[in-house]
Amino acid sequence: MKEHESASSGRNGHSAPQSQTQPPEGAFSSLIAELQQAVTAEGYLTPTPIQEQCIPHLLEGRDLLGTAQTGTGKTAAFTLPLLEQLSRHTNRPRKGTPRALILAPTRELAAQIGDSIETYGRFLRLRHTVVFGGVNQFHQVKALRHGVDVLVATPGRLLDLMQQKFIHLNEVEIFVLDEVDRMLDMGFIPDVKRVLAKIPKERQTLFFSATMPPKMETLAHTMVRDPVRVAITPEKPAVELIDQKMIFVDKKSKDALLTSLLQNRKIKKALVFTQMKHVANRVSKKLVAAGIRATAIHGNKSQAARIRALDGFKQNHFQVMVATDVAARGLDVDDVTHVINYDMPMEAETYVHRIGRTARAGADGHSISFCTAQDKSCLRSVERLLGKKVPIDKDHAHHCERTSQSSQPTQKQSESGQGKRQHGGRPQGNFARYQSRKRRHRAGR
């Protein structure tokens, strides 16, 4: 995809394939033929748990409260039934007057939802577009003037275009709020309420959040009516599914270590985290100079550059994406095999968020963290949070024994009862308390 505007807006309606090797199963089998063919073309035959639970209720027009983490198939769980409902009445869309509105907290997430609509709606005669800030509004306004059935938007740009009279919400039939917990964290709820005031009361509302604490529950009930509840919780916390390794390294050797790992180990797709924007740029350039397909994404990049980098990473043009924590918000790439902490984060909770970018949708995942002498306090915090030691990897040429000896953070844990194995050998620690606290407050997001 060369230009975002060409992909984020358009009228679907390609010729549907005439044959398929195997029909889709479960909730997918209840979809109209055009959507079944699109799902099958993507290689999906069996719905994920959230898709199986959501699709039948949404096809009936029910409001829904959904609790699910990223990587569970949530986007398809609402885009597929949304597209089917809109396809039942395919009148020519009116200028700037969408029939479905999807709100997302970040530009990256909005673009990914737009990609999902493009993918699954390819055999339907429906128009969609994506609007968000950080880019010139010309192409977005042009798409709106042609008419759209589905509008995906971030709150700020949506309100801006509404104020300019380019968007009118008086005909919205389906309203979707995705990742509401992050909207709350980012201060968007007042904007959401302003949008809500412009939408017809007779509508279907879908409310999705990674967690549903009491504050979120109260907010949800101001927006939905008699909702169906769907809650998908992973069988294990994500970090338990990840093969974690810690590498003790001298600060001056981190570049050489990273290059060596990427060249000599079977790392298909890696997300590398740095603390600073300029470090992300420098690391990316060094990797490219070493013959590694790498790109960087951070706050100083233009939105167009960030989209190109993300698209290139998703389409495997780049093996490595180097990112800061803020820039990585909203990224949803299912096939990341490795997360590498080039710089250890300032907070242990951020470590959990970072490595959770791998091991998505049941796939294997690996994390490798570089620990210098200056990072030993962070390592202590991480291991206290996890309730166990992170295994040390010495199978490389850059192991720093001096750092290793000065960074043994778990001796006091053993003395104080942290990290002990109890209750059938399961490691005890602060992670369960962190999971509970995270549900009350989305720290580090």
pLDDT > 50? residue 429: no
Task: For residues 330 and 182, give the distance between their C-alpha atoms in angstroms, rounded to a whole number.
Answer: 9
Task: Dump pLDDT digits (tens) for 199-218.
Answer: 999 999 999 988 788 888 89
**Percentage above 90 pLDDT, the chain:** 55
Of the pLDDT bands very low, low, confident and very high (cuts 50, 70, 90), residue 416 is very low
Task: For residues 36 and 87, give the distance between their C-alpha atoms in angstroms, rounded to a whole number.
Answer: 14
Task: Dump pLDDT digits (tens) for 232-252.
Answer: 865 555 678 899 999 999 999
pLDDT of residue 377: 81
Token pair 């167009």 in the structure block, residue: 304
pLDDT of residue 364: 87
Q: Tell me the domains of the chain and their CATH numbers.
A: 4-231 (3.40.50.300), 238-440 (3.40.50.300)
Of the pLDDT bands very low, low, confident and very high (cuts 50, 70, 90), residue 419 is very low
Question: What's the whole-number mean pLDDT along residues 49-54?
Answer: 95
pLDDT > 50? residue 2: no
pLDDT > 90? residue 197: yes
Instruction: Give me the amino acid identity at 15.
Output: S
pLDDT of residue 43: 84
Burial of 91 (0-12, 13-18, 19+ CB in 10 A): exposed
Q: Which residues pair with 320 in a beta bridge?
A: 270, 294
Task: For residues 440 and 445, give the distance between their C-alpha atoms in angstroms, rounded to a whole number.
Answer: 13
Angle at 383 between CA 381 and CA 388, to 5 degrees: 160
Task: Dump pLDDT digits (tens) for 59-98.
Answer: 999 999 999 876 678 999 999 999 999 999 877 788 999 9
Beta strands of 83-143 (E only): which ranges?
Answer: 100-103, 127-131
Cα distances (angstroms) measured from residue 418 to each of 144, 220, 349, 386, 435: 57, 38, 17, 10, 17
pLDDT of residue 185: 77
Task: Dump pLDDT digits (tens) for 323-362.
Answer: 988 767 667 788 999 999 999 988 777 888 889 889 887 7
pLDDT > 50? residue 436: no
Helix or strand (DSSP H, E) at 257: helix 254-264
Question: What's the whole-number mean pLDDT along residues 255-270?
Answer: 93
pLDDT of residue 13: 52
pLDDT of residue 260: 95
Mean pLDDT of the chain: 84
Task: Dump pLDDT digits (tens) for 3-26.
Answer: 333 234 455 554 444 444 577 889
Of the pLDDT bands very low, low, confident and very high (cuts 50, 70, 90), residue 51 is very high
pLDDT of residue 330: 62
Task: Dump pLDDT digits (tens) for 291-333.
Answer: 999 999 987 788 788 889 989 999 999 999 999 887 676 677 8
Residues 6+ apart with CB under 8 A from 153: 101, 102, 103, 104, 110, 130, 131, 132
pLDDT of residue 122: 94
The two structure tokens encoding residue 176: 């979707």
pLDDT > 80? residue 118: yes
